[in-house]
């Protein structure tokens, strides 16, 4: 999330009412979750395990719960509760705005857009030419939909990220201020859920086709001309290359990379990054050659046990 203008470190510290380390006039341009930070951003960290990752990230201001040595060229905001203070920034710079119409007056619709009855188009949504939005689709605030896109009934574009902190009194949600961007010539089936970025963009690139009942997590990027079959679940912050095929009921864990032209067979569980141009299957997913060797060895276990028992 970029701020509407640049702010000084002191201005942000005063807003949060917390101390800071560094030049009070140091410029802050926005705030982002760790996977999508860039220079000028604030990133938050509240566990020693992730201090180095945050301090060495592209972010130039670190919202942290302990005063530590500050890397050169960066600044610190020292908070007792960085998670809550990050939410304060989200609420301040991008507060929730209720809608009063099924199609917001601030939505921008291209030529020949068809919106079927019961669909909801939120504030500041942008939809390109010749796009069809079917019945009961919900497109949340700020999302961008390209031209020649089809979104089928009951799909939700831009729901909140599934991102919580476990506290003694219950789970505390990290507020989502990002958007979903869907490029041209994308088809999305019915009953899909595509979550907005925590503070950046969940991105579906041109020509990709998504079947029914697919879940795509926050800040995930899906490349061009991908095919994703039904019941696939993709966690947050996954980077998927171009022309990737993902068959039904595949589950993909967060924060990994999947290369171009990968094929993932049905019911696979993907827990690590996958190299381009290979075919994977199984739980955990591995390339076909390695997986078939593994299966062959497993089938030999009874034979080996019998041989051992005869010794």
Q: What positions carry a catalytic annotation?
A: 218
**For the chain, what percentages of helix, strand and coil (3-state, to nearest 5) are there?**
15, 30, 50
* Burial call 243-272: b when 16+ CB within 10 Å, e when fewer: bbebbbebbbbeebebbebbbbbeebbbee
Q: Is 214 exposed, middle or buried (0-12, 13-18, 19+ CB in 10 A)?
A: buried
DSSP readout, 198-215?
A: SSSEEEE-TT-EE-SS-E
Residue 160 DSSP symbol: P
- Among candidates 175, 147, 171, which has minimal Cα distance to 161? 175
How far apart, in whole angstroms, are the C-alpha atoms of residue 119 and residue 170? Answer: 33
Closest C-alpha to 210, from 195, 196, 231, 241 = 231
Cα-to-chain-centroid distance, residue 217? 5
CA distances to 49, 245, 259, 287 from 278, in Å: 34, 11, 9, 7
Whether residue 247 contacts residue 266, with contact meaning beta carbons closer than 8 Å, is answered with: yes
- The one-character DSSP state at 260 is T
Phi, psi of 265 (to 5 degrees): -75, 160
Residue 159 CA to residue 119 CA, distance in Å, equals 15
Cβ contact 232:193 at 8 Å = no
């Amino acid at each position: 999330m970029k701020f509407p203008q640049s702010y000084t470190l002191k201005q942000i510290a005063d807003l949060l009412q917390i101390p800071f380390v560094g030049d009070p006039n140091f410029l802050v341009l926005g705030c982002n979750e760790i996977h999508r930070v860039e220079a000028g951003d604030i990133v938050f960290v509240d566990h020693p395990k992730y201090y180095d990752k945050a301090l060495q990230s592209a972010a130039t201001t670190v919202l942290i719960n302990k005063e530590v040595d500050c890397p050169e060229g960066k600044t610190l905001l020292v908070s007792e509760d960085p998670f809550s203070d990050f939410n304060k920034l989200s609420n301040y710079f991008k507060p929730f705005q209720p809608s009063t119409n099924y199609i917001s007056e601030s939505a921008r619709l291209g030529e020949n857009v068809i919106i079927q009855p019961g669909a909801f188009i939120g504030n500041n949504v942008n939809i390109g030419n010749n796009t069809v939005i079917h019945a009961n689709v919900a497109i949340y605030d700020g999302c961008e939909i390209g031209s020649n896109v089809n979104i089928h009934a009951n799909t939700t574009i831009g729901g909140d990220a599934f991102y919580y902190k476990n506290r003694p009194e219950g789970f505390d949600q990290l507020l989502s201020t990002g958007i979903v961007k869907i490029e041209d010539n994308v088809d999305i089936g019915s009953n899909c859920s595509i979550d907005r970025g925590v503070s950046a963009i969940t991105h579906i690139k041109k020509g990709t086709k998504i079947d029914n009942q697919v879940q795509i997590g926050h800040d995930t990027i899906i490349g061009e001309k991908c095919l994703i079959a039904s019941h696939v679940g993709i966690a947050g912050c996954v980077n998927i290359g171009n022309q990737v095929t993902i068959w039904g009921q595949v589950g993909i864990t967060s924060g990994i990379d999947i290369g171009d032209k990968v094929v993932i067979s049905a019911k696979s569980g993907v827990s690590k990054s996958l190299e381009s141009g290979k075919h994977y299957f199984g739980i955990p997913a591995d390339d076909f050659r390695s997986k078939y060797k593994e299966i062959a060895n497993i089938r030999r276990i009874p034979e080996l046990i019998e041989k051992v028992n005869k010794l």
